[in-house]
Amino acid sequence: MRQAASGLPRPFWWLWASILIGRLGSFVAPFLILYLTAERGYSASFAGLVAALFGAGGAAASVVGGMLADRVGRRTTLLVAQVTAAGLTTALGFADQPLLIAVLACAAGAASGASRPVVQTVLADLVPPADRMRAFSLYYWAVNIGFGVAAASAGFISAHGYRWLFLIEAAATLLSALVIAVRLPETMTDPADIERERGDEKGAGFRTVLRDRPFLAAVGLSFLLIVVFQQAAAGLPVAMERDGLTPAQYGLVISLNGILIVALQLPLGRRLEGSNPGRLLVLASLLCGGGFGLNALAGGAAVYAIAVVVWTLGEIVHSPVNMGLIARFSTSTARGRYQGIHALSWAIATMAAPLCAGIVIDRFGPDTLWAACTVLGVCAAVGYWALLLRGPDRHRHAPHPTIATVRPRRAPR
């Protein structure tokens, strides 16, 4: 723990604390459908529509959040997004008209989604390239601890009324914003650096980002693996139910994912620091595809648990390395836009995964889904090899200049 946490700048730890606080109160998204059906009596189809609107709002806002981070400032964008999210979350908990609930869910999802690329942008601003893998491991560790605690406690809180879930999440979001307002400086690149970089071949607009073929290739490969990872929540419970396993058994099996991430993310991240990211991403892709492919051999909880262990190891390796890769591809003047496009692909993948799982399982059965996951994992491994390992080292393995010292700055016009 001391080795994993040493040497990182103090502003990083304030950002990390704000992330953990926010995640500890992340109740609404996982329990939104249950709230609408069990507490409010709406149909499952309406609840599914509201959840989809929540996700769609977050997907659209991720690009906007990244753009505002580059134009207005990281700190300002984060504060506005979080304060807005707190207000909309509170309003959603008290809304009683179907149309109003749908509109507020989409808006609340947008406000929440706008923060994600900005947080990763600030992290890349604060931490030098040599330490980014370790920093992203700590970030991912905080996200999973917060989500695990929130999921475990939400059931007890909802017993006193579902509205408390909305109020506590809003309060946690405001507390997270307070930490940022008081302790986190603005990390936008110095205006002189912006002008110098604009004089080079790189610009700062979305057009430049969308012309960056190596970056888009990395985003596409990440998209494939996210679709596979999301089958833990989409395809796995359906497959286990068809094998005669109970929801309690599914809960125990999938809990291994969170336990392993909390236990292994930091020590593995520390040991892998300095390794070739291309080789790590190839390994992670194979573990991911192979782990989900093992589900085709499962008939009981034990084999499903072994499969969870395998693909979780792939997730532990892939997540911080992939975030570091995206940060390395981005330029300092367009870092928010790069992160916004990556966050958009993540959001689309989380929406596409359950749709694909349902269609494949209904038409061809779970084994076909697991075979498809294996194929996607192998395709991602080949893609990472071609992008990062094949031929001369020409895909910007050298890091971009980063901020050496972070101090409050006025956002450039």
Name which of 111, 121, 103, 13 is nearest 67 in CA terms: 121
DSSP string, 203-261: -SSHHHHHT-HHHHHHHHHHHHHHHHHGGGTTTHHHHHHHTT--HHHHHHHHHHHHHHH
User: What pLDDT does 125 receive?
Assistant: 92
More confident residue, 2 or 268: 268
CA 124 – CA 131 distance, rounded (Å): 10
User: What pLDDT does 392 receive?
Assistant: 52
pLDDT category at 249 given cuts 50, 70, 90 is: confident
Question: Does pLDDT of 200 surpass 50?
Answer: no
User: What pLDDT does 190 receive?
Assistant: 54
Start-to-end C-alpha separation, the chain: 41
Averaged pLDDT for residues 348-374: 90
Tokens of 309: 């262990």
What pTM does this model have? 0.81
CA 256 – CA 361 distance, rounded (Å): 24
Question: Does pLDDT of 202 surpass 50?
Answer: no
Instruction: Please give the angle made by the CA atoms of 326, 51 and 98, to the nearest 5 degrees.
Output: 145
Residue 115 has a CB neighbour count (10 Å cut-off) of 30
Averaged pLDDT for residues 204-218: 85
Question: Does pLDDT of 218 surpass 90?
Answer: yes
Tokens of 400: 């971009």
CA 311 – CA 287 distance, rounded (Å): 5
Tokens of 65: 């959040």
Tokens of 299: 């008939």
Read off the pLDDT of residues 268-296 as tens digits, 9 standing for 90 and up.
877 887 789 999 999 999 999 999 999 99
User: What pLDDT does 194 receive?
Assistant: 52
Amino acid identity of residue 210, one-letter, is L
Residues above pLDDT 70, as percent of the chain: 90
Using an 8 Å Cβ cutoff, are 314 and 284 in contact?
yes
Highest mean pLDDT among 326-340, 360-374, 386-400: 360-374
Name the average pLDDT for the chain: 86
Chain Cα centroid distance, residue 215: 17
More confident residue, 294 or 47: 294
Q: What is the largest CA-CA distance in the chain?
A: 64
Amino acid identity of residue 183, one-letter, is R
More confident residue, 159 or 222: 222
Read off the pLDDT of residues 25-39 as tens digits, 9 standing for 90 and up.
888 887 887 788 888
User: What pLDDT does 170 receive?
Assistant: 96
User: What pLDDT does 152 receive?
Assistant: 75
CA 67 – CA 411 distance, rounded (Å): 13
Question: Does pLDDT of 201 surpass 80?
Answer: no
pLDDT category at 52 given cuts 50, 70, 90 is: confident
Read off the pLDDT of residues 91-116 as tens digits, 9 standing for 90 and up.
999 998 999 999 999 999 999 999 99
Question: Does pLDDT of 384 surpass 80?
Answer: yes
Locus of tokens 């604060």: 126
